[in-house]
Structure 1
Amino acid sequence: MALLDDVKRELSQIDGELLAAKQAQATAMIRFGGGLRLIQRQIMVQAQFDSYEAALWLQNTIHTLYGHDAAITEVDRPTPMGGSITRYVVHVERGGAALALQTGLLDRRKHVVMGLPNEVTSGNISQVKAAWRGAFLAHGDLSEPGKASYLEIVCPTQDAAVSLTTAARRLGISAKPRQVRSSERVTLKDPDAIERMLLLMGAPQSAREWTGKRSDGEARGKANRLANFDDANMRRSAKAAAEAGKKVRHAFEVLGDEIPENLRAAGQLRLDHPDASLEQLGRLADPPITKDAVAGRIRRLLQLSDKTEKARQQAGA
């Protein structure tokens, strides 16, 4: 959660955007944060956030940009684990219908726009970026970098998911809408796409932090894979050496004194150094020999033992 909090804090501090971009961000924050409520035939604008900075940004923007007063209410929500989480609800009770018309969430026929207004998704690129920023501030989530990296936004309606997917396409990013437990979501899973979206939304510092953690995680994963690979190789080598020692011991019992000296020396090295590799056995030989020479001599020793044992069995028959 720490990285997610950092991203939302960084996005909430963006200032100096063009008027159209601010409007697009405010519209997206209202749509993805909750939208419009009809209470006693009056339209009330209400949006909920997990970031106080995001709620404060929207409150200030509603006042300075649209001339309406908005209040922030702190609400504690229970969690499935028995704890609670704090949410910040921005609501406009007076002038809600006028604000909905100003943001484009009500069309000229007074119909509720279930996605994002067309002037936002088809606007200039700064508006499209701001729409994604607003949606993320309202209901976005970001994984810690790892095997299952994702950037995801929970959408209030299917139309909202389609709007967000269209906006991502205009930014050159492929985002996939999907349904999870009856909720609509838009998800990015490609790490490069996630990094680029963070940059486009306006969170370069968080993008660098996310990428750094991702690189560290990949490096640790590679190191772990190499360590596991080495462990597996060591186990296989130890098993092969133990089996070779058992066969050499049997060959000595079968052949007795009838063993050529070079083969006996190679076999004895294996018995004396059961955990050593063939290369190490070669260095221990007097004079030193190659690992291929060690392997060849042990192989001929075992072949001679097998041949002798079979001959004795046939003679006994």
Structure 2
Amino acid sequence: MALVDEVKSELAAIDDELPAAKKAQAAAMIRFGGGLHLIQRHIVVESQFDSLAAAQWLQRTIQEVYGHEADLIKVARKTPTGTVERYSVRVLKAGGALALQSGLLDRRKRPVRGLPAEIVSGNIAQVKAAWRGAFLAHGELSDPGKASYLEIVCPGSEAALALVGAARRLGITAKARQVRSSERVTLRDPDVIERMLTLMGATRTAREWSGKRNDGEYRGKANRLANFDDANMRRSAKAAVEASEKVQKAFKILGDDIPENLRAAGQLRLDHRDASLEELGRLADPPVTKDAIAGRIRRLLQLATKVEKQRAEAEQNQ
């Protein structure tokens, strides 16, 4: 089961909320899951979900809290990637009454395009429940190890702005954005996502998501460090080989006319071609620092370059 499905299962299992919170969640699920439809001048409430547990929660709440019968219908839809199963909760006969009771129709029987005002300005339990309902209806959550996001696809800009306002009341900054033809409300910061999951009631999956994300970050950091160390080793090995070739050339140019300390440093480089400068310094007799051995090899190469240049100038003058 994908982690987003686990979140929805955990949220749908919450059943000890106050009636006002239950109503807020139900209204958000209806609004973000589909909403109101007018069929032959008759209002029908219908919402679709990818979670069976979410659909069952809404069906049960409509019956228990609002007193209306609701049908639960399994809908299979073929897509290029295979068959997708969704679950539709439909209220036919009492659709208009449910729309009024849930606040999705105002007193003048006009559709409310965002969320009912009594929810957005209600108590914190209602605000949390509204976010929970919106997520159950159309929420998405990134898998741990990927770029972090929690996102809700909204039925319109009014619903997106209502959700942003509700998040603000919870102390969370959410961003509304348009992606192609859909309005979305998005959270990106991992700590904010974990907090929102907890506020909605998915405490167990919030910990699981955060734990897996941290594990992924630690593995990624370890891999980056390993790659960094490997690259450093390759660069060091390449530099050592190049230095050995230069020392060998310097010995040919200078012959026996080399100061003993420079000769000893150069010979160490030739005898231990894969060793680091620090290791060469420890191998010297007596041991010297990395900077000292590097300085001696550098002076050896400079001396060879100077002698080679003098010989070239002497040949030109002859």
TM > 0.5: yes
TM-score, L = length of structure 1: 0.97
CA distance in 2, matches of 1:290, 1:178: 60
Q: CA deviation at 1:301?
A: 0.8
TM-score, L = length of structure 2: 0.97
CA distance in 2, matches of 1:72, 1:276: 73
CA distance in 2, matches of 1:66, 1:13: 19
CA distance in 2, matches of 1:155, 1:175: 13
Determine the structure 1 residue equivalent to 2:89. 90
Q: CA deviation at 1:308?
A: 1.1
RMSD: 1.1
Q: CA deviation at 1:185?
A: 0.4
Determine the structure 1 residue equivalent to 2:110. 111
1:295 aligns with 2:294: yes
Determine the structure 1 residue equivalent to 2:160. 161
Which consecutive unaligned segments of at least 5 residues does structure 1 have? none
CA distance in 1, matches of 2:202, 2:191: 15
1:231 aligns with 2:230: yes
CA distance in 1, matches of 2:93, 2:137: 22
User: Is the partner of 2:312 in helix, strand or coil?
Assistant: helix
CA distance in 2, matches of 1:157, 1:4: 23
User: Is the partner of 2:275 in helix, strand or coil?
Assistant: coil
Determine the structure 1 residue equivalent to 2:70. 70
User: Is the partner of 1:74 in helix, strand or coil?
Assistant: strand
Q: How does 1:1-317 map to 2 (within 5 A)?
A: 2-81=2-81, 83-317=82-316
User: Size of the alignment, in residue pairs?
Assistant: 316
Q: CA deviation at 1:17?
A: 0.6
Q: CA deviation digits over 1:180-237, x for unaligned, max 9?
A: 1110000000111100100100011011001101110111111112112112211221
CA distance in 2, matches of 1:43, 1:188: 34
Q: CA deviation at 1:261?
A: 2.2
Runs of 4+ displaced beyond 3 Å? none
Which consecutive unaligned segments of at least 5 residues does structure 2 have? none
Single out whichever of 218-227 and 66-75 deviates more from structure 2. 218-227
Alignment-mate amino acid for residue 2 of structure 1 = A
User: Is the partner of 1:135 in helix, strand or coil?
Assistant: helix
Q: CA deviation at 1:147?
A: 4.5
Of all paired residues, the percent bearing the same amino acid is 73
Alignment-mate amino acid for residue 133 of structure 1 = R
